[in-house]
């Protein structure tokens, strides 16, 4: 019987947003106004597709993008947390559900030797095409009206847990570690025994705190974190129980 740890990536594992970080590769480290203005709410992945095309057209190559991405700092205490999870792999399964992309996440986890900590990464598929442009697609299609059209993290989480159950893996609880607006949907579906761990001062924490003020029902407990070291302390309590 294991605990399932679910991580977001941007502003949770790493201390920035990989999609906005990559803009430093652009000429003068900024995007043209018309490209910036082309973003429509709920269609971030399409917008990033245009950003990657622009970078490619401007001659920004894969190795340059990789250097930028792997220079992103980890969130405070995150290295310690991932090492703690690695030492306790018999007690945890660990997945990432992220609105970043597969290329960026692989680069970071490979460069930092943390690929082995995660059982599965669910994110938007990306690859370099024959002309050296990074292309990105939607992770899936779904019918949830709360989430951007390319990814509902709750659908992903529920499907993963169901699939594991069919293979005889039943989790005692789920611990969800995230920060953003698109983490609200999966967190509100957590059950009584589960733990939502929003990062202090970020959208998820502010939203959950507003929900509790409005007395909107939420079954799971909520534990706020600023450093991965605080998450370790909480996980140590859970595995002792």
Torsion angle (degrees, nearest 10) of CA 141, 146, 148, 153: -70
For the chain, report the end-to-end CA distance as a whole number of angstroms. 13
Write down the catalytic residue from 10, 93, 183, 194. Answer: 10
Residue 57 assigned as binding residue? no
Do the Cβ atoms of 232 and 5 come closer than 8 Å?
Answer: no
Report the DSSP pairing between strands 221-222 and 195-198. Answer: parallel
Dist CA 10 CA 199 (whole Å): 11
Q: Could you confirm whether 10 is annotated as catalytic? A: yes
196 - beta bridge partners? Answer: 176, 222
10 is in an annotated binding site: yes
Please list the alpha-helical segments (H only) found in 102-182.
102-111, 153-166
CB atoms within 10 A of CB 204: 27
Q: For residue 98, report the phi and psi dihedrals to the nearest 5 degrees.
A: -140, 150
Q: Which value, to the nearest 10 degrees, does the dihedral of the CA atoms of residues 235, 237, 240, 241 take?
A: -110
How much is the CA Rg of the chain, to the nearest whole Å?
A: 18
Q: Is residue 99 part of an annotated ligand binding site?
A: yes
Annotated binding site for substrate: 19, 99
Annotated binding site: 8, 10, 19, 99, 179
Annotated binding site for Mg(2+): 8, 10, 179
Q: Which residues are catalytic?
A: 8, 10
């Amino acid at each position: 019987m294991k605990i399932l740890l679910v991580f977001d990536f941007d502003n949770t594992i790493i201390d920035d947003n990989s999609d906005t970080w990559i803009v430093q590769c652009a000429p003068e480290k900024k995007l043209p106004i018309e490209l910036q203005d082309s973003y429509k709410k709920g269609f971030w992945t399409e917008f990033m597709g245009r950003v990657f095309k622009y970078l490619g057209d401007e001659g920004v190559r894969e190795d340059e993008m990789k250097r930028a991405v792997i220079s992103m700092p980890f969130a405070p205490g995150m290295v310690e947390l991932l090492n703690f999870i690695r030492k306790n792999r018999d007690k945890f399964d660990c997945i990432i559900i992220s609105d970043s992309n597969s290329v960026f996440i692989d680069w970071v986890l490979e460069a930092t030797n943390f690929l082995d900590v995660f059982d599965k990464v669910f994110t938007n598929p990306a690859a370099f095409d024959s002309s050296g442009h990074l292309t990105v697609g939607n992770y899936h299609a779904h019918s949830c009206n709360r989430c951007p059209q390319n990814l509902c993290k709750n659908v992903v989480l529920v499907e993963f847990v169901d699939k594991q159950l069919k293979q005889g893996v039943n989790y005692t609880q789920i611990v969800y570690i995230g920060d953003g607006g698109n983490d609200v949907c999966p967190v509100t579906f957590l059950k009584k025994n589960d733990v939502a761990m929003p990062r202090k001062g970020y959208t998820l924490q502010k939203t959950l705190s507003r929900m509790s003020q409005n007395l909107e029902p939420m079954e799971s407990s909520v534990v706020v974190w600023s450093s991965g070291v605080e998450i370790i302390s909480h996980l140590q309590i859970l595995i002792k129980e």
